[in-house]
């Protein structure tokens, strides 16, 4: 099982005096081009996986490169009413949970093989999406008092931007559902015509320039995944122009 959480990449060392964790959060949002977004959608369809899985794979590959670890864990926000949860149909409100996604990027695997494996892992995760995160942590080998992950990933299944653009009297250029977690970094994906990526970061750990670099590297990986599904994971260069 998981024995320790993944270390945060590129943590800042020059902090303001008096700044403490979870004291102040910054936000940075980006948008991929319409052409890249379309290629990602086509790539996901070609590999028979969801767009969510493709972006998760890119994040997992990037974190593996940053940390040098082939065992990557980050949190993923889930929502739904699984039939395994007794009484779910009578519960009011959104059933939202955050569960660990564990990836083991194999450099010898092709992009297609990795995506299909992650798709199967996601399907298995859905069977447990009602499990309490505290219970999942207790089932792991992580030391008592330590969290499973510091990075949370959110895939917005409801594209608010398109809805507002179609129904609002005034044109809406951008729409975000803003909320801060207590973890150092949250990455939210909004699948519009120009896919949006929203970064919420604890300024104790990160500064805006680092977040811009994270986005640039994540974009490189996404481009590589969309370009050639037969490419080996080892051949993806996060620094390629």
Q: What is the pLDDT of residues 159-192, one digit of tens each?
A: 555 544 555 555 555 555 555 567 899 999 999 9
Q: Which of 19, 4, 74 is nearest to 205 (CA)?
A: 19
Residue 9, pLDDT > 70, answer: yes
Q: In whole angstroms, what is the distance from residue 116 CA to residue 108 CA?
A: 15
Q: In whole angstroms, what is the distance from residue 34 CA to residue 39 CA?
A: 9
Q: Tell me the average pLDDT of the chain.
A: 83
User: So what's the pLDDT on residue 213?
Assistant: 95
User: So what's the pLDDT on residue 180?
Assistant: 53
The structure's pTM equals 0.83
Compute the average pLDDT of residues 19-44: 94
Angle at Cα 228 formed by Cα 224 and Cα 229, nearest 5°?
105
Burial class of residue 86 (count of CB atoms within 10 Å of its CB; 0-12, 13-18, 19+): exposed
Compute the average pLDDT of residues 85-93: 50
Q: Which tops the pLDDT comparison, 141 or 95? A: 141
Compute the average pLDDT of residues 141-152: 80
Q: Which tops the pLDDT comparison, 46 or 146? A: 46
- In this structure, what are the phi and psi dihedrals at residue 221, rounded to the nearest 5 degrees? -65, -40
User: So what's the pLDDT on residue 7?
Assistant: 84
User: So what's the pLDDT on residue 92?
Assistant: 47
User: So what's the pLDDT on residue 171?
Assistant: 56
- Name residue, tokens 């680092």: 210
User: Residue 15 corresponds to which tokens in the numbers above?
Assistant: 């902090």
The residues near 167 (Cβ < 8 Å, ≥ 6 apart) are: none
pLDDT band at 240 (very low <50, low <70, confident <90, very high): low
């Amino acid at each position: 099982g998981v024995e320790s959480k993944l270390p945060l990449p590129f943590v800042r060392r020059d902090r303001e005096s008096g700044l403490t964790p979870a004291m102040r959060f910054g936000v940075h949002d980006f948008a991929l081009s319409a052409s890249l977004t379309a290629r990602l959608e086509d790539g996901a369809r070609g590999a028979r996986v969801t767009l969510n899985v493709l972006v998760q794979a890119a994040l997992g590959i990037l974190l593996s490169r940053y940390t040098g670890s082939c065992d990557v864990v980050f949190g993923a926000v889930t929502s739904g009413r699984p039939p395994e949860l007794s009484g779910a149909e009578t519960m009011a409100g959104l059933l939202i949970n955050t569960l660990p996604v564990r990836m083991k990027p194999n450099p010898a695997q092709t992009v297609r093989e990795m995506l299909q494996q992650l798709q199967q892992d996601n399907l298995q995760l859905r069977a447990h999406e009602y499990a309490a995160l505290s219970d999942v942590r207790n089932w792991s080998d992580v030391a008592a008092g330590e969290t499973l992950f510091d990075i949370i990933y959110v895939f917005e299944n409801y594209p608010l931007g398109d809805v507002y653009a179609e129904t609002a009297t005034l044109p809406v250029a951008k729409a975000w559902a803003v909320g801060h977690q207590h973890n150092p970094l949250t990455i939210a994906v909004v699948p519009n015509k120009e896919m949006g990526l929203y970064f919420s970061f604890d300024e104790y750990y990160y500064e805006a320039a680092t977040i811009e670099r994270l986005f640039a590297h994540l974009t490189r990986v996404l481009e590589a995944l969309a370009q050639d599904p037969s490419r080996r994971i080892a051949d993806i260069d996060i620094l390629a122009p």
